[in-house]
Structure 1
Amino acid sequence: MLLDVVIAACAAFAALGVMLICFKALRAKPPRWLGPAVAAVAVVAVTATLRYQWAGRMEAMLPKEMVVVERLATRSPFEPWSYVKPVVTTLVLADKGTARTNSAHADLVLINVLIVRRADDTLVTRHLVDCAGRREAVFPADAPFTSDGLPEDLVWAADTPPELITTACTVRPSAGIGSSSRDESHMHKIKAVI
C-alpha cells in the first residue's frame, strides 16, 4: 500500500514536470488551476492502473502449489470505471501442497484455502471437498465427530467454485505424504478422516 502511494506521488510530480516543460517550450505561463488538475488526473490514472494490475502481479508471484480457484471483483462509486470493468480485489487460492486423503473416505479431500485480499490480511481455512458429490464445506476446527469419523453438522456450500473441486480432486495424495508435524497431529485428532 505504501509503495502504491509512493508510485502515485511520483506520477503526479512527473506529470507536473511534463506539463511545465511543455509550457516552457511554448513560452507560455500555465493557468494556476492546471497544475493541481494534472497532478490529480495522474494520481487517479496510476492508482486505477495499479488496482487493476494487483491480481495479475499476485498470481505471478504465487508458488506452483497455489492454484487460483476464484477471482472476486468489486464495483465502487468512488471508482466509476469499475462499473465498466470490475476490479479484482480478492483471490481465493487452493494450496495443493496441503491436500490430504484417507482410504476410509476416498472421495473426500482436506485442503487449505487461502483468501488473499488487497491491502488486508490473508485468511487461511481448511475445507473438506467431496469429490463424488462435487461439493465442499469449511472444516470446523473443534467440531465433534460422528461414529464414522467425520465432523458433525458440516455445512456444504451451495456455490462451490468448480476450480476448487477440480484442484482438490485432481491432487488426491496418499494420506500423510508431505504433511508437517502439525498436520499429522491434526489428522490424528480427526480420527484419520482425511
Structure 2
Amino acid sequence: MFFELIATFAAGIAAAGLALIAGHLSGGRLPRWLTPVLAGAAMLGYAIWSEYSWAARTTQALPEGVEVLLTVEETKLWKPWTYVIPQTTRIMALDRASVQTNPDAPGIVLADLYFFARWTPPAKRPQLVDCANAARADVSAAALSNPSDAAWRRAGKDDPLMEALCTS
C-alpha cells in the first residue's frame, strides 16, 4: 500500500512537471491552473488504474497449478465509476497441487483454498469436500481424524469448489 501511495504521488509530480514544461514551451500561454489540474487527474487516473488492474496482476502472479475459482465484483458509492464498470475486489483460488484424498474416507477430498482481497493479506483455508453429498467443511483436527466430525455445510452443484473438484 505504501508503494502505491508513492507511485500515486510520482504520477502527480510527473504530470505537473510535464504541464510546467508545456507551459514554458508555449511561452506562458497555458493557464496556470492547468498544472494542479493535470497533477490531480494523473493521480486519480493512476489510482483507478491500480484498483482495476489489481485482480489481473494478482492472478498473473499466482504459481502454476493455482486456479482462480471465483472473482467478486463490487460497486462503491464513493467510486462512482464502479457503477459503469464494477471493480474486482476479491478472488478465491484453488491450489490443485494440494488436492489430496484419503483411502480411509472415500469420496472426501482435501484441498487448499486461497482468498485474496484488495488491501488485505492473502488467507489460506484448507477445505474438506464431500462430492457425493455436495458438502464442504473447514478443516479442523477433529475433521482430519474423522471426517464425520466435520461441520459440513451444504453446497450447491454450482458452487465453484464443487465444480472444480467434483466434475470429471
State TM-score, norm by structure 2. Answer: 0.84
Q: Which residue of 1 aligns with 2:135?
A: 135
Q: Distance in 2 between matches of 1:43 and 1:108?
A: 50
The residue correspondences of 1:84-99 to structure 2 (distance < 5 A) are 84-99=84-99
Q: Which runs of 5+ in 2 are unaligned?
A: none
Query: Do 1:98 and 1:111's aligned partners in 2 also have CA atoms closer than 8 Å?
Result: yes
Q: Distance in 2 between matches of 1:84 and 1:101?
A: 44
In terms of fraction of residues, the more strand-rich structure is 2
Q: Which residue of 1 aligns with 2:116?
A: 116
Q: Distance in 2 between matches of 1:58 and 1:145?
A: 31
Structure of greater relative contact order (alpha carbons < 8 Å, 6+ residues apart): 1
Aligned AA (2:66): M
Shift of 1:68: 0.8
Query: Do 2:105 and 2:147's aligned partners in 1 also have CA atoms closer than 8 Å?
Result: no
C-alpha distance 144-18 of structure 1, shift in aligned 2 (>3 A): closer
CA deviation profile, 1:71-96 (whole Å, cap 9, x unmatched): 12222222111111121122111112
Aligned AA (2:108): L
Q: Distance in 2 between matches of 1:100 and 1:144?
A: 14
Query: Do 2:74 and 2:82's aligned partners in 1 also have CA atoms closer than 8 Å?
Result: yes
Q: Which runs of 5+ in 1 are unaligned?
A: 172-194
Q: CA RMSD in A?
A: 2.6
Q: Which residue of 2 aligns with 1:6?
A: 6
Shift of 1:48: 0.6
Moved more, 90-99 or 28-37: 28-37
2:27 is paired with a residue of what secondary structure?
A: coil
Aligned AA (1:168): L
Q: Distance in 2 between matches of 1:34 and 1:155?
A: 60
The answer to whether the aligner puts 1:156 opposite 2:141 as a matched pair is no
Q: Which residue of 2 aligns with 1:64?
A: 64
Aligned AA (2:56): G
Q: Distance in 2 between matches of 1:159 and 1:165?
A: 8
2:50 is paired with a residue of what secondary structure?
A: helix
Shift of 1:158: 4.3
Q: Which residue of 2 aligns with 1:41?
A: 41
C-alpha distance 153-107 of structure 1, shift in aligned 2 (>3 A): closer
Shift of 1:2: 2.0
Paired residues, number:
168
Shift of 1:26: 2.1
1:44 is paired with a residue of what secondary structure?
A: helix
C-alpha distance 102-38 of structure 1, shift in aligned 2 (>3 A): same
